[in-house]
Structure 1
């Protein structure tokens, strides 16, 4: 049975307290969320379409950190097919414009732009056992795309969760949060981290809110620059 974590709790990913061992050759970090339904404005409001909510586009991101807790390789800048300049490409930051690490050992499966449906809305998959020893820690975060512009934040999100699932599909741990006043106007969230310890991997539930909806601003606290 998976462990339901509370903020700040740390567990061993290799096995639980009942001695059940997990296969870390490939671990899925699944993230999900629901948007809190706004109260109806009545028949007239529905008729006028005044209660229509914009879709919430929450983006999952991962930072691969070295033993100093920093992102050592910020990647490079490339030009996309539509002429845009995109930075952080093929570095130690996994996000919507650079979904697969050059090593092939960590990748983002795709971008769910609404959070609709059951189960994971986004997934980051990591081959922990194959990860280069220079990577000591992985931080997982989520930002609300254009949250500031659209007036969207984690206070409006319910049942946001992060979970770890082993290579055999067994859920190891899950950390769930519901939106409350503490998350109002917070457009980013550092959800959790996994880190090396005694030859294995630990998982820590964080739940640290950030005001910014731009993960690059959050990234600054994890860089040498």
Structure 2
């Protein structure tokens, strides 16, 4: 049975699931009725962060055009441009035991592609969530439903995997940003 988290909650991932070595992180969302005439394309991105909370290089920014990082331990499984259908819209697989020691935190984000230019924001998005599945059995271990707390934001840090005393934990972040992907990239130390 999956653990449902609220914003700000943290939970042990590997300590409470002994033998867990690989996971799938599923991100999903729906868009509300939108009549702006433009497509509504949300994108999942992953930032691989060092002890300072920054990406060491561009290679630590994982998205649909740079789908593999952490020496192959983190893989973005493709871009869904519409969010149509049930289930996860985008997925990222993580081989926990193969993540290099220099990476202490893995941040999962959702951004609206060209959100400002298209006058789109997370106030027009509903049913967004992140969930963590056992990569072997597909059992849902953790789920965090973001709720409807956003209005003008165009980017959201949904959650973070991080190392603590040799174990992996997950934190439900749910923090919104204006400025879209550019503001996230800048905050994580990239240009």
Same fold (TM over 0.5): yes
Alignment partner for residue 26 of structure 2, among 30, 33, 36? 30
Shift of 1:224: 7.6
In structure 2, C-alpha distance between the alignment counterparts of 1:68 and 1:177, rounded to whole Å: 26
Q: Match of 2:162?
A: 195
Q: Match of 2:138?
A: 169
Shift of 1:25: 1.8
Question: What's the secondary structure of 2:64's corresponding residue?
Answer: coil
**TM norm structure 1:** 0.79
- 1:48-106 CA distance string (max 9 Å, x none): xxx575332111111101112111122xxxxxxxxxxxxxxxx1110121111261111
Runs of 4 or more off by more than 6 Å in structure 1? none
In structure 2, C-alpha distance between the alignment counterparts of 1:72 and 1:170, rounded to whole Å: 33
Shift of 1:139: 0.6
Structure 2: unaligned runs, 5 residues or longer: none
**How many matched pairs?**
190
Q: CA RMSD in A?
A: 1.8
Shift of 1:217: 2.5
In structure 2, C-alpha distance between the alignment counterparts of 1:33 and 1:93, rounded to whole Å: 21
Q: Match of 1:222?
A: 188
Q: Match of 1:204?
A: 171
8 A contact 1:157–1:178 mirrored in 2: no
Q: Comparing both structures, which one devotes a greater share of its residues to strand?
A: 2
- 2:147 is the counterpart of 1:178: yes
**TM norm structure 2:** 0.92
The answer to which of 51-60 and 97-106 deviates more is: 51-60
